[in-house]
Amino acid sequence: MNLYPVSLLESNNDHPLSHKTHAPLDLNTMLDTVSKPTRNVTELAREEKAFTFAHFTCEHAWVIGNILRNTLRSADTSALIHISFANQTLFHSPSLPGMMPDQETWVQRKRNTVLRWGHSTWHMSCQFDGDYKRFAEHHAMSGDEWAKYTIEGGGYPVFVKGVEGCVGAIVIVGLESEHAHGVIVKAMGEYKVLREGSKSPMRSLTVK
């Protein structure tokens, strides 16, 4: 089933999945629309749980991934977007050309952190004040082990109602730590508005 009919996309330039383009914004202009994230870990944990889904499928990942992709494209910004379960990739795409193979490593590191600790990488960064040594020592990790993880912002947990722990991760690589976190949170908010909109094509589908 086509989640977004072509007729809808062609008739609405402001739709988050519209294929039509506008003049690109400056990155800083785009970031001005993104709220500066808190560093309070209690508030961050509350924020993460506020986006709990009734269920989560590849359709959810497609919508959120494209909201992120178009947000970054609107600012002429190249970044890598990844959404996955623990054992299955649901969405993986650069926003624009310019990504390097090394970005794939950072995707895995952010994803690993989210899936192991069930918090955003920004949450983990704030918990340890960005100190990798403290982070590694707290979890009794050797250098080889903690190299599999990162506390740079841009990894975000996916929670589903009735399921203990996070089921997946949303990742952006290519932006500064707090900006990456803020862009994901903004996209999640836009997703909620789109889902609840009376004219949303998702109203009659399974994306809730």
pLDDT digits 0-9 by tens, 73-95: 988 889 999 999 999 999 999 99
Length of the chain: 208
In a domain, 6, yes or no: no
In a domain, 18, yes or no: no
In a domain, 23, yes or no: no
CATH at 83: 3.30.450.150
In a domain, 24, yes or no: no
In a domain, 135, yes or no: yes
CA 108 – CA 82 distance, rounded (Å): 9
pTM of the model: 0.82
Dump strand ranges (E) for 86-184: 89-94, 155-158, 168-173
In a domain, 13, yes or no: no
In a domain, 145, yes or no: yes
Range of the domain at 181: 37-94+101-196
- Structure confidence by residue, pLDDT tens digits, 111-169: 999 999 999 999 999 999 999 999 999 999 988 898 999 999 999 999 999 999 999 99
Query: Which one has a higher pLDDT value, 85 or 3?
Result: 85
The number of folded domains in the chain is: 1
The encoded tokens of residue 110 equal: 């952010």
In degrees and rounded to multiples of 5, residue 45 shows phi and psi of: -65, -40
- Structure confidence by residue, pLDDT tens digits, 167-204: 999 999 999 999 999 999 999 999 988 887 644 444 43
In a domain, 14, yes or no: no
Residue pointed to by tokens 């990504």: 99
CA 15 – CA 47 distance, rounded (Å): 25
CA-closest candidate to residue 90, choices 82, 98, 78 = 82
CA 178 – CA 44 distance, rounded (Å): 12
